[in-house]
Chain A
Amino acid sequence: MKLQWLKTDYGCPPSPQLKGSPGKKSYIEKTLKGITSFFMNGLFSEEIISRGGLLQSIDPRVKVLTLGLLVVAVSLYKHLSVLLIVYFATVVLAYFSRIGLRFFLLRVWLFIPLFSGIIALPALLNVFVPGEPIFDLVTFKNETALGPLRIPGTISITRQGAQSVSLFIMRVAASVSIVVLLTLTTRWSHLLKALRVYRVPQFFTFILGMSYRYIHLLLRQIEDTHLARKSRTIGREKGVSGRTWTVSQIKFVLNRSMSTGEKVYLAMVSRGFTYELKTMDNFTLKPVDYIWTAGSLTAIAITLGVTWI
């Protein structure tokens, strides 16, 4: 009889031996973590939208206009105090929109502002931003040069440097806070429809919507193939097989996206699409939208006035 190897022997499990530092993550895991956080981001905002706080109740068209203007205003301010007020206002808005403060602060600060802060720190020194010294750190005998940089005899923290770094960090933090508020309280599809009201062509908003929709599908498929691979993997993954994995996944996504594009085209044609895109919205403005618009435009006008007068 053939298939002699096809017999059943449950054996006994070996005692597990944990080796190596568990903290060190492979870059495949990094990629997969990125994919997971992509999905989590969607789930979080869906959950926050359903909580129905202040910003959630405001019409997306109004929200896009006012928060968009606010981001532009933030890019124009010149005083740290104004930036701090605006930043504080975003935290208050987050509170009234029932976004957990811990979650909001982490979501905003982790990565962009924190990263910006780290890269901006050297700008405190007169090496990078010349100005009035307020605190001397090191004194050398004479000036030196490091490539194109001139290192002064005394390295010190300057007033201009300190101001510049705090302005920079707060400007970044305020901008990121506003955008995070917008995206956490607005559905992607509503955001796109709102953009259409402001003359962003249908062509772009439709493609953005479709693209986001298929990013979900493609990432799910990557996750599935990874799980399938993981269930077959014995032992630890080596660097080479990891690189092979990454490239094979990129090839996979390339093939899938091209063939999906072709098929989606047929599905569109089948339902009457020929050339022009048509969609229908049902937005209506409520009293709260008018109040919000008036309030936020006034606030933006006042803060800009403070800056420029």
Chain B
Amino acid sequence: MDIENIFEIRNLHYSFSGKYTALSDVSFDIRRGERVVILGANGSGKSSLLNILDGLTFPQKGEVRFMGHTVSEDILKDEGFNRFFRNRVGFVFQNSDIQLFCSTVWDEITFGPLHLDLHPDEVKTRVLEISELLGIVKLWDRAPYQLSGGEKKKVAIASTIAVNPDVLLFDEPTNGLDPRSQAELVDFLEILHKRGKTIITSTHDLNIARMISDRAIVLNECHGVETEGPTPAILEDTKILLKVNLIHEHIHCHDGEMHRHPHGHLGDHAHEHKHGRGHRHEH
């Protein structure tokens, strides 16, 4: 069966304890092998959306279809479907301390494959190879609380990849990482993309968004989809980015570069300035 759309999201509504709206009428599709970024300011519902895509929480209204199957709490109770789904969708959580719950790095990386009933020899091969690729073999015997932030993220990624999912969800993967770890992460995502993985990343880091995605879905502060389109075009659309509070008047992008404009006084934004390329530009 050849289904082009991995995920079909229709009219999602989700709220916490029935009171605080997190998502409101969200619809979009994710195609096979795509790199999509979900852009939104803090509190726009990105994390809730990824939780729903991973079948961890369930919307009050609307539908999530994964490879043609509706994902619901009931269907995930079916062992066969649960295994099918968990084998194909991997989630790297924003908070590595939540994701790394085992006593050692070794236990952590083997947890997913073992629970999805892979043969122990195959588990060993995978753990070794993914650990070598990420340079974390030396950490195997360590406990998660002995790792640095960058190491934790690598272990979290290794433990997700060891399952070999087709679809990968990353929640704010670059948060709190130093520039070197960020660059390594971008390179790694490139490898995954070349292997045909579908990669969905939530972020508010516009620089990273450019490097890791082809298409962007923008969530606004009303928890709905503001717009979607090719990433470069979206990142050029200052109006939209301003509207959803992803940029401030003083920090924004031009021609693929980040600009910061210093201001001499507070409370006054009306000004003109010149860019290196020489085009005039009004705020």
Contacts from A to B (Cβ < 8 Å):
46, 187-189, 192, 209-210, 212-214, 216-217, 220, 260, 263-264, 266-274, 278-280
Contacts and interface: CB of A to CB of B under 8 A. Distances in A.
B146 A268 contact: no
A210 B97 contact: no
A260 B115 contact: no
25 contacts: A187-B104, A189-B104, A189-B143, A209-B102, A210-B103, A213-B101, A213-B144, A217-B145, A220-B145, A267-B93, A267-B101, A270-B54, A270-B86, A271-B90, A271-B115, A271-B159, A272-B86, A272-B163, A274-B82, A278-B114, A279-B107, A279-B111, A280-B114, A280-B123, A280-B124
Interface in B15-36: none
A168 B83 CA distance: 57
B112 interface: yes
B258 interface: no
A278 B107 CA distance: 10
Given A213-B145, A270-B54, A272-B87, A264 B101 contact: yes
Nearest to A187: B141
Interface string B113-149: 0111000100110000000000000000101111000
A1 to B, nearest CB: 9
A271 B98 contact: no
Given A267-B99, A272-B163, 6 more contacts: A189-B103, A213-B143, A267-B101, A271-B115, A272-B83, A280-B124
A269 B51 CA distance: 11
B56 A270 contact: yes
A46 B159 contact: no
B95 A271 contact: no
Interface size for chain B: under 10, 10 to 19, 20 to 34, or 35 or more residues?
35 or more
B107 A189 contact: yes
A252 to B, nearest CB: 16
Contacts of B56: 266, 269-270
A280 B103 contact: no
A260 B95 CA distance: 10
A209 B97 contact: no
Contacts of A274: 79, 82, 115
Contacts of B87: 272
Contacts of A216: 143, 145
A263 B95 contact: yes
A264 B116 CA distance: 18
B143 to A, nearest CB: 6
A188 B141 CA distance: 11
Contacts of B103: 188-189, 192, 209-210, 212-213
A267 B82 CA distance: 14
Nearest to B85: A272
Going nearest first, the 9 A-B pairs with the smallest beta carbon separation are A209-B103, A189-B103, A272-B115, A216-B145, A271-B112, A272-B116, A278-B114, A272-B86, A266-B56
B115 A278 contact: yes
Given A212-B103, A213-B102, A271 B145 contact: no
B119 to A, nearest CB: 11
A147 to B, nearest CB: 50
Nearest to A189: B103
A210 B101 contact: yes
Contact of A272 (B97, B99, B102, B112): B112
B264 to A, nearest CB: 13
B113 to A, nearest CB: 8
B110 interface: yes
A84 B81 CA distance: 63
Nearest to A260: B98
A210 B115 contact: no
B213 interface: no
B91 interface: yes
Interface in B65-106: 79, 82-83, 86-87, 90-91, 93, 95, 97-104
Max chain B CB contacts within 10 Å: which of A187, A216, A267? A267
B44 interface: no
B98 A263 contact: yes
Contacts of A267: 93, 98-99, 101
Contacts of B102: 209-210, 213
B32 to A, nearest CB: 21
